[in-house]
């Protein structure tokens, strides 16, 4: 039964992680009513699963990477809920909840990695991983393009330049909204892509997955992307600073792409 409860907890962690995005980044406080209860439910079922597992194993200290990772996820969720209870800050859920989900995914699959035995299912996960990350890269490129056009249009308006072939550029307000919206749109795709890739990689290489340079750089990119979104939202960046913001996110994404050349995780055979 402990595996069933852990799978229920993994689903709730996923729901809490997804609902944290609009609740924190997109100005939709109503999603908080989904995020927090889902996190509470995930913690409850995870705690029940962990207790049953340790009781069945006749020891109260975690043994092995799976049990340690599961316990760490439980403690991270507990810390998040404590912060919410004391300070009402759901923002930490952007970090804590996806990380807890990532740590729980492997143990929730069971010792035989049941979801990826089928080549068709594994191909589906791989397609989700690639498609989501490509969508995130496309959003970053579009955000960078809109920011560059913002600079051109701003300079044109200051000089009162009425050159005909530049009149097609949209107004500054529109360009600013596009750049901001594309940054926000790319983050959920990047999150989904990394989680799907984590499932595949843990099946292929096991715990060594966390030591791969591509993986470490990918999660570093995800964290930096999140920081950039916070900066963009709080400061309302426009113009040159917005270009720097989009450029930095895009360059980091390119560096992650280039890291495939030295990655062991991305060299495993296809199904």
Residues 80 and 19 in one domain: yes
pLDDT digits (tens, 9 = 90+) for 192-219: 888 887 777 666 655 556 666 677 777 7
Residues 122 and 242 in one domain: yes
Residues 259 and 159 in one domain: yes
Q: Which domain holds residue 142?
A: 118-267
The Cα–Cα gap between 168 and 244 comes to: 24
Residues 156 and 223 in one domain: yes
Average pLDDT score over residue span 14-25: 88
CA angle (38, 39, 45) in 5-degree steps: 90
Average pLDDT score over residue span 79-94: 91
Please report, for residues 23, 97, 128, 177, the alpha-carbon distance to residue 134 in angstroms, rounded to integers and kept in the order given.
25, 23, 10, 22
Residue 236 has pLDDT above 80, yes or no: no
Q: Give the pLDDT score at 230.
A: 74
Residues 260 and 193 in one domain: yes
The Cα–Cα gap between 55 and 247 comes to: 52
Q: Which residue has the higher pLDDT, 213 or 91?
A: 91
Q: Give the pLDDT score at 257.
A: 67
Residues 142 and 256 in one domain: yes
Residues 196 and 83 in one domain: no
Which of the residue ranges 53-62, 111-120, 145-154, 159-168 has the most confident prediction, judged by mean pLDDT? 145-154
Residues 133 and 248 in one domain: yes
pLDDT digits (tens, 9 = 90+) for 113-144: 445 556 666 677 778 888 988 898 888 888 88
CB distance 197 to 129 below 8 Å: yes
Q: Give the pLDDT score at 45.
A: 95
Tabulate helix, strand, coil % of the chain (nearest 5).
85, 0, 15
Residues 104 and 222 in one domain: no
CB distance 79 to 100 below 8 Å: no
Which of 58, 92, 111 terminates a domain? The answer is 111
What's the pLDDT band for 222 if we cut at 50, 70, 90?
confident
How many other β-carbons are positioned within 10 Å of the β-carbon of residue 175? Answer: 24
Residues 147 and 68 in one domain: no
Which of 64, 85, 111 terminates a domain? The answer is 111
Q: How many domains does the chain have?
A: 2
Residues 235 and 191 in one domain: yes
CB distance 137 to 129 below 8 Å: no
CATH of the domain at 26: 1.20.120
């Amino acid at each position: 039964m402990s595996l069933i409860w852990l799978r229920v907890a993994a689903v709730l962690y996923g729901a809490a992680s997804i609902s944290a995005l609009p609740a924190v980044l997109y100005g939709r406080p109503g999603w908080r009513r989904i995020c927090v209860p889902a996190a509470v439910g995930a913690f409850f079922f995870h705690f029940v699963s962990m207790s049953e597992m340790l009781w069945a194993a006749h020891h109260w200290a975690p043994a092995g990477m799976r049990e340690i990772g599961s316990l760490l996820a439980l403690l991270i969720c507990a810390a998040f809920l404590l912060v919410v209870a004391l300070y009402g800050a759901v923002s930490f859920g952007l970090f804590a909840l996806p990380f807890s989900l990532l740590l729980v995914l492997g143990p929730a699959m069971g010792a035989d990695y049941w979801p990826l035995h089928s080549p068709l299912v594994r191909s589906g996960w791989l397609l989700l991983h690639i498609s989501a990350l490509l969508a995130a890269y496309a959003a970053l490129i579009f955000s960078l393009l809109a920011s560059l056009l913002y600079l051109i249009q701003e300079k044109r308006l200051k000089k009162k330049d009425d050159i005909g072939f530049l009149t097609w550029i949209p107004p500054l307000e529109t360009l600013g909204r596009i750049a901001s919206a594309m940054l926000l749109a790319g983050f959920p795709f990047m999150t989904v892509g990394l989680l799907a890739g984590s499932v595949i990689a843990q099946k292929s290489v096991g715990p060594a997955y966390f030591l791969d340079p591509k993986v470490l750089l990918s999660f570093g990119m995800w964290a930096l992307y999140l920081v950039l979104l916070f900066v963009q939202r709080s400061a309302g960046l426009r113009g040159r600073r917005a270009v720097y913001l989009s450029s930095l996110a895009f360059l980091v994404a390119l560096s992650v792409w280039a890291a495939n050349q030295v990655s062991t995780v991305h060299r495993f055979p296809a199904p």
